[in-house]
Amino acid sequence: MINNDEIIRNDVRKVQLEILKKIDNVCKKNDLRYYLAFGTCIGALRHKGFIPWDDDIDILMPYADAKKLIGLQSDFGDKYFVQSRETDRDYRSIAMRIRDEDTTCIEADEVDLKTHKGIYVDVYPYYECSNNRIIRLIDILRSNLLKVLVNNRPPVNHGGVTAKMSKIVLGFYSEKKRLAKIEKLEKRLASVKGDEILDYYGQDITMFTAISYPKEWFGEPKLLEFEGMYFNGATEPEKYMSKRYGDYMRLPPREQQVVHHTYIKINPYKSYKEY
């Protein structure tokens, strides 16, 4: 018997899938590249759709294309909102989200922020990285500083030490200096040229290391089946997943088959504006 939680989860996935379809349409119309990423790519390769216990969709985009996407709100219409720090004043991430304005998705780390809070698809910009290991390390450190400055407050779920360090760092910046430094760091990271690419966000990166991938793995997209439709995957999706996860076709232990988001409220039937 299907319980109410399963019905809601399936309907949340339907909303996310519609957002992905809209992103695909807008990207095709404007000649922008995107690729299914992380668990979404695993789901496409291993399950031909969502990982059974997963609850989100992630895509990667070249930094330049992601920035162009921010300016295409008119192509998304009123139903979908292109969320970035440029378009949503209190939004605090270097990643972007495309949100369905007719739904609700409030997570623990954003409950007090005055932002758009519909169900979303994550859009992660990726960058080229230097072939020089020392310069690459410096850029990784720069990216961590960028995230602290964009977040503009100690992180909620990254431990006390990280929170204290972030608070100290932010103490050195006035609002004017913070915004100027963000712009300078973004320009620096976007200007780097090299033979590999990386994503400066999420589990691909630590304080001093980052997983990088050959640039040719993210060239001409390879169509991957996902929930009965086809969307853009990496040129070499199997190599991408193997480097990121190892034996990605093997199911993880049952205790790891869990949702990783901390939702305060999620409702695929009602807009967050009504709460």
Band of the pLDDT at 198, cuts 50, 70, 90? very high
Query: Is residue 157 over pLDDT 70?
Result: no
Longest dimension (CA), the chain: 57
Strand, helix or coil at 139?
helix
In this prediction, residue 1 has a pLDDT band, given cuts at 50, 70 and 90, of very low
Compute the average pLDDT of residues 180-206. Answer: 95
Confidence of residue 262 (pLDDT cuts 50, 70, 90): confident
Tokens representing 52? 């059974």
How confident is the model over 30-43, as a mean pLDDT?
A: 98
The pLDDT of residue 171 is: 92
Nearest Cα to Cα of residue 103 among 88, 123, 117, 89: 117
> Closest Cα partner for 43 from 28, 32, 59, 27?
59
Please indicate whether residue 101 or residue 203 has the higher confidence score (pLDDT).
101
pLDDT band at 258 (very low <50, low <70, confident <90, very high): confident
Average pLDDT over residues 206-231: 97
pLDDT band at 2 (very low <50, low <70, confident <90, very high): low
**Lowest mean pLDDT: which of 2-11, 14-23, 75-84, 231-240?**
2-11
Q: What confidence tier does 56 reach under pLDDT thresholds 50, 70, 90?
A: very high
**What is the overall mean pLDDT for the chain?**
94
Whether residue 158 has pLDDT greater than 60: no
264 versus 196: the higher-pLDDT residue is 196
**Backbone dihedral angles phi then psi of residue 234, each to the nearest 5 degrees:** -60, 160
pLDDT tens for 176-192 read: 999 999 999 999 999 99
* Segment 101-117 mean pLDDT: 94
Q: Where are the domains of the chain?
A: 4-274
Say what the pLDDT of residue 167 is. Answer: 87
Output the pLDDT for position 62.
98
Classify the C-alpha dihedral 239-240-244-247 as positive or negative.
Answer: negative
The residues pairing with 86 across neighbouring beta strands, listed in sequence order, are: none
Least confident of 42-56, 60-74, 259-273: 259-273
User: Of 203, 181, 66, 200, whose CA–CA distance to 139 is shortest?
Assistant: 200
Its pTM stands at 0.94
